[in-house]
Amino acid sequence: MGKNKLQKFAENETFDLLFQPSLEEVWQKDFHMKGRWNTDFFKNSNPIVLELGCGKGEYTINLAKMNPHVNYIGVDIKGARLWKGAKEATLLPLPNVAFIRTRIDNIASFFSPQEVSEIWITFPDPQPRSSKAKKRLTSSRFLGYYQKFIKENAPIHLKTDSQPLHEYTKALVEQNQLKLINCTTDLYNSNITHPSLGIKTFYENMFLEQGLPITYISFQLETTKELKEPEFE
C-alpha cells in the first residue's frame, strides 16, 4: 500500500464527520447512530439525503452547498476516496455533511424507518453481467434495503453514463408500477432542468469528454411493496 494512501487513512481517523465502523459493528446489527443522526450529529431536524457510492464526495459536497437546510450523508467503501470529501467538508466547514465508510449491503444498519428523505446514486458500478444484477444499486435487492429506512414515496435518483443500467432501472420501475418522476437517456439535451443535476463529478466530466451521453432517471419508492426483478438482460 502506498505511503500517500496510508497517510489518508490516518487522517481519516481525525475527521469527526467520517464514520468508519468495522464489519462486526454493522453486520446484522444496528450502528449506534441509527435513528440519531439529526439529534446527535446534525443537531437539527432537517431532512436527511443519502448519496450511495459517493466516491470522493463531490456530489454530496455540492448538494450540501446548494441546500444548507438539508443534511447530506455520502456512503462509500473506499477510504482513500472518502478522504477528499471528508477533508473538504471539514475545512470549509459544512455542518450539514457526514460520510460513512461501509458496504452498501449494510446500509439498513445505519438508519431507522423513515429517517431518510431521498437517495442519490451517481455513476455506480453498472454490474453489466446479468449474473451480477443483484449487485446493481437499483436492483430489487438493494431497493429492499432502502425501503427499511426511507420515507414513503421518497425519490430515488440515478445518474449514470451506463445505458444498460438506465434501461434496467426503467424496466424495474415499470415492472413494479412505481411512479416515474423523470427519465432521459441524454440529460444535457433534455428539458429536465434542476441545479442538482448540473453538478459534474470527475468521472462525469471524463465520460462527457469521451462523448458519452449522461442518463438520468428518478422515481418514487413505495416502502411496503414487494419488489420483483424485471425481465431484462
Tell me the catalytic residues.
125
Count of C-beta atoms within a 10 Å radius of residue 76: 23
Q: Give Cβ neighbours of residue 55 (< 8 Å, ≥ 6 apart).
A: 76, 78, 81, 122, 123, 201, 202, 203
Q: Report how far apart, in Å, the C-alpha atoms of 186 and of each of 68, 181, 229 are.
A: 29, 16, 25
Going through 89-186 in order, the beta strands assigned E by DSSP cover 97-101, 118-122, 154-160, 180-184
On whether the CB atoms of residues 147 and 221 are closer than 8 A, the answer is: yes
Q: Report how far apart, in Å, the C-alpha atoms of 5 and of each of 18, 54, 210 are.
A: 16, 18, 29
Can you tell me the distance from the alpha carbon of 161 to that of 121, in angstroms, rounded to the nearest whole number?
Answer: 12
**Which residue from 147, 105, 123 is spatially nearest to 208, judged by alpha carbons?**
123
